[in-house]
A and B are shown apart, each in its own frame.
Chain A
Amino acid sequence: MSQAVSHLWRHWTRFAGWCGILLLSSPAFSGGPLKVAGVSYFNSSSKGTPLTWSASNVTYYTDLGDLSPVLKQTDANAFVADAFSRWTGVASASLTVVNGGSLAEDVNGGNVSSSGAGLTLPADILPTATNKPVAIVYDYDGAVTEALLGTGSSDPSFCLTNSTYGGPDAYSTDGHFVHALVVINGRCAATSASLADLKYHLTRTLGRVLGLDWSQLNGNVITGNPPPKAEDYSGFPLMHPQDPLCSSVTTCLRNTGVANMDDRAALSRLYPKTGSATGAIRGSVYFVDAHGNKTQPMQGVNIVARWMDPASGLTSGQYAASCVSGFRFRGNAGNAVTGYTDATGNRFDQFGSDDTSLEGSFDLSGLEFPDGRKTATYQISVEAIDPNFTGSLGVGPYDYGQVQPAGTFTAVNVTVNSGATTNQDIVMQGSAAIATDLREPSSFASPAPVPAAGDWTASLNGYGDADYYSFSGHANNSLSILVTAIDGSTTISADGTTGLATTNKAMPLIGIWDAGSVAGSPPPAFVGQPFNSLQLGVTRLDALILGDSGFIVGIADLRGDGRPDFRYRARIFYGDTVQPSRISAQGGSLLTIQGLGFRVGTTVAVGIANSGTLSVVANQIQSIAPPGADGVQDVTLTDPLTGAASVISGGLMMGAGPADSVILLQGSNPATPVGGVSQNPFRVRVVQSDGVTPVAGATVQLSASPVNVQFAACGGATTCSVLSGPNGEVSSVITPTATGTYTLKASLAPLTYTTPSFVQGTLSAISSSLIFRWSTSCAGRRATVHSPCL
């Protein structure tokens, strides 16, 4: 976000802040409350308190216009009042809702506009209009909806989702809602037949206005598994996250907007009524240690209480309530990798308490006594929250990503008495799947060294835990860091550790800091999205190191969470050095590559040529170099299974290096007859930049101008490339095929270097008649042309 844009946004929100309200997005907290005050923005005394309307009193204001042809303004007001009454009628809750009058206008397309300049709404329905705390807009022709949600959004095809919408949009620092907006799409009230569904949707939206979150209970009503019975429908919460696709949802769900027991219980927790004839079960969910003792509280478990009918001895589908453990605790406070503020610059920790004693707590108050007695038995069971219930469908504190509960819990029966609270903790047996985390302690200031093999198992254990590891790398090398979230299963993986990859536990993020960075500083390189690789449960960061340095690798959960079941396998795949660092361009040399995180199957390439691998252990690969071009070569290591890759940039010199040169050892000859062999070989040596140290295996191109000579080293060809010998030398006798004076040339790796080092010699070729005359004096020596015939 640019500073200018950020400034505009903050200006707007600060304006709201001056009014003592908060207008921004953040996760909800469920199992009852839509929001819970956190540690920022709200007063410290409000921390951990579900947000409600102050004094349990809601005053709403309605549109001056009609809602639809069949719901004139007066009728619409009655319609709204009836929908509110579905909540105010809950006997166990103390809630007052008052119609404060009308808005100042008929809110319609005339005063709601969207243009290139933006969106304009009447002032008294904006979040800042706290003198009209709840604004109810009658969108007669859908123009308001079209302005807020987009073109076509008011069409009756969308009455399932867009007939009513809105919710709280401003909060006070003392933990109360101070404004909410509700829009009712008049196109969904076009006929009398449509009003039942509209009332249902409106009641749900008003439930959100009152501070209720979505709830998960009797999910078989939606999934059909097991087939729902009538009592399941009767207990299905009005505040379920998502409606089925139905031509008439009230018919499908057999609910015309009636708060069922789960809704009633949730409302009574927000607006408790003294002397209510209900009971409560409260407690906390816990992990266990190896001995079965309670340890850390467990968040995000749906706790379900079902009345046991004494007549049948069976649990009830109708009289049931649920609560998500840790509903008052934060579900996302940010993390060390991506930071602690959302995309609009607001702190995540403004919602949800940081008191870890609340991390597993649940509150099943509002339990009713259907048979009129003063005591009842409720069966308590646990279930996972549907992983789909995140974001706008979020249930519970983990609405950035649900967590599969660890361990099991056998349902228990609990006696509940009217007006009393029964304490019942839930201990999840088998949740202590991990051994001691051998990588702890680690901190940003004192990171643990990366294990020698570059491959380890650890956990983000303890709320807010983030793990840090120290590591050193060489400039221009690249690496991959892989973190696999694993579950608590006892299945043994390929590396001998237990646990299967999962996306339902930790959501690992990876960051890298330069050693010596200030704690709390943002990582210059990071992965901000968990599970970004093609492997299940794997987050991968690929990085290029631009300078020799030590680094800190940080691993954190997206939500900033830490639990005993947040295990992970980490691996740094990094090639550090190659020995020898210089080999012949011919290849065939044994290469020893040192690094981290190697596994069987790791492939090696020198330049663009694959290299044969002889052996692989975690820190070392032995490989046979392929033939290659002269010059500096990258050595690329790849793990095909994971896609991890590491490049040792310029890790290997093959043949001639860029600073090498070729020197002339022998470049002259006496005149040589055509068809005869030069008396002296054309002899050069490849040396390093010191001019002395010979270079073996470097490519030297031999050529002549004109081309009418044959190089013996080339098998009689007029030109070729040969490799320098162990002493760095290349030598060849020459046979001219025509008379003339030839320039002999030895170029060092001309295919690699655009201006290669080269040396030149000369050869003078004379005609064969001269040879004949001359040879008569040298009779019998023509066969020994390597020796001069002087």
Chain B
Amino acid sequence: MPNLVYHSRGLMQRKVRPRVLALLLAAGLPMMASGPTYAKELRVGPPIVLNPVVQRWMRFAGLIFRGTVTSIGPATSPLAGSPAVVEVTFHVDYGVRGVRSGAKLTVREWAGPWLTHPRYRVGERVFTVLYQPNAAGITSEVAGTGALRVNRFGNVAVPTAWLIDSDNEGEDSTATQGPLAPGTRLVGTTALVRQIRARPQPNQPVQP
């Protein structure tokens, strides 16, 4: 995969003590950064089945992972007069396709979609499905679905439209101890990954 930067740090464990370590000096005060922070994944709701349209999308994905955005910046080698390219670096804590758990992953995106809205924010925890990067290492979110939010238990807020017979009523409060955005359903990463890897069943309908 050209132009992707992998720096495996051997961090295979997915349960990392949730903490942001900061160092203070009496004078000068250097800074420190945060690490991935997940508790044990909660089992959430009934089993899920991905809409076959979404399953088809997943087949095009070259990179699927759960991770934390660690930096965002311009690409290192924009050509004079060429369109801007943004580099986003993730710490991958759960690699599903194309990247290993524990790896540092840097991807490039054409800056066009960034011009109207921020795509990511440093520190954000996301479950992201990206196209296979092209020769310039450029990719983007499959179907423009955006990075799916990940809660503090590592569960993913999946659009209900992605799911068949999805019913998100009453299943979020106990799992999240808080509100869940309408139109999404919390799904355990493991369950979501299982569905991503599953073959679509021929009888599954396409909504609506």
Contacts and interface: CB of A to CB of B under 8 A. Distances in A.
A245 B51 contact: yes
A120 B79 contact: yes
B162 to A, nearest CB: 7
B112 A391 contact: no
Contact of A5 (B31, B53, B54, B73): B73
A504 B82 CA distance: 40
Given A545-B24, A547-B27, A529 B34 contact: yes
B145 interface: yes
A543 B179 contact: no
B41 to A, nearest CB: 12
A525 B74 contact: no
Nearest to A542: B19
B115 A391 contact: no
A779 interface: no
B123 to A, nearest CB: 3
Contacts of A15: 81
Nearest to B85: A119
A336 B36 CA distance: 24
Given A146-B134, A542-B20, A542-B22, A116 B116 contact: no
A12 B147 CA distance: 27
Interface in B5-43: 18-32, 34, 37, 39
Interface string A14-46: 010000000111111000001100000000000
B76 A503 contact: no
A160 interface: yes
A311 interface: no
B86 interface: yes
A1 B71 contact: yes
A166 B118 CA distance: 14
A128 B81 contact: yes
Contacts of A386: 181-183
Interface string A310-343: 0000000000000000000000000000000011
A148 B85 CA distance: 10
A168 B3 CA distance: 28
Given A150-B131, A536-B178, A1 B74 contact: yes
Interface string A515-527: 0010000111111
Contact of A244 (B112, B118, B161, B178): B161
A151 B1 CA distance: 12
Nearest to A16: B84
Contact of A23 (B26, B71, B84): B84
Given A386-B181, A527-B20, A151 B112 contact: no
A119 B139 CA distance: 12
Nearest to B73: A1
A497 interface: no
Interface stretch (B56-64, B186-194, B195-203): B56-64
Nearest to A549: B26
B138 interface: yes
A168 B111 CA distance: 12
Nearest to A7: B74
Interface string B46-90: 000001011011001110000000011111111111111110000
A208 interface: yes
B81 A147 contact: no
Given A524-B29, A546-B23, A149 B34 contact: no
Contacts of A535: 152
B79 A117 contact: yes
A116 B74 contact: no
A57 interface: no
A158 B84 CA distance: 24
Contact of B112 (A6, A114, A158, A166): A166
B152 A116 contact: no
Interface string B127-163: 0001111111111101111110000110001010110
Contacts, number: 305
A118 B119 contact: no
Given A116-B2, A524-B31, A525-B29, A541 B74 contact: no
Interface of B is mostly: loop
A178 interface: no
A9 interface: yes
A501 B133 contact: no
Interface stretch (A231-239, A393-401, A412-420, A588-596): A393-401
Contact of A121 (B20, B21, B77, B82): B82
Given A161-B143, A525-B31, A27 B118 contact: yes
B183 A222 contact: yes
A551 interface: yes
Contacts of B117: 25, 27-28, 391-394, 399
Contacts of B79: 117-120
Contact of A149 (B51, B131, B146): B131
B152 A534 contact: yes
A147 B21 contact: no
Contact of B76 (A8, A126, A532, A541): A8
Contact of A114 (B78, B136, B143, B181): B136
A533 B29 contact: no
Contacts of A118: 75, 77-79, 82, 85, 136
Contact of A387 (B37, B74, B139, B179): B179
B179 to A, nearest CB: 6
Contacts of A167: 112, 115-116
Nearest to B113: A392
Given A117-B77, A223-B183, A524 B71 contact: no
Nearest to A538: B152
A28 B116 contact: yes
Contacts of A5: 73-74, 76
A151 B31 CA distance: 38
A70 interface: no
Contacts of B112: 148, 165-167, 169, 181
Contacts of B142: 153, 158
A25 B115 contact: yes
Contacts of B204: none
Interface of A: 1, 4-6, 8-9, 12-13, 15, 23-28, 34-35, 114-121, 123, 126-128, 146-153, 155, 157-158, 160-162, 165-169, 181, 208, 219, 222-223, 242, 244-247, 252, 342-344, 386-388, 391-394, 399-400, 475, 501-504, 512-514, 517, 522-529, 531-537, 540-549, 551, 643, 645
24 contacts: A25-B115, A34-B116, A117-B77, A118-B82, A121-B83, A127-B83, A148-B110, A148-B140, A149-B131, A149-B140, A150-B140, A167-B115, A169-B115, A222-B183, A252-B208, A344-B72, A386-B183, A527-B20, A531-B152, A532-B123, A533-B18, A537-B178, A546-B24, A551-B24
Q: Which 8 A-B pairs have the closest CB atoms?
A: A547-B26, A524-B29, A529-B123, A150-B131, A9-B74, A525-B22, A114-B136, A343-B72
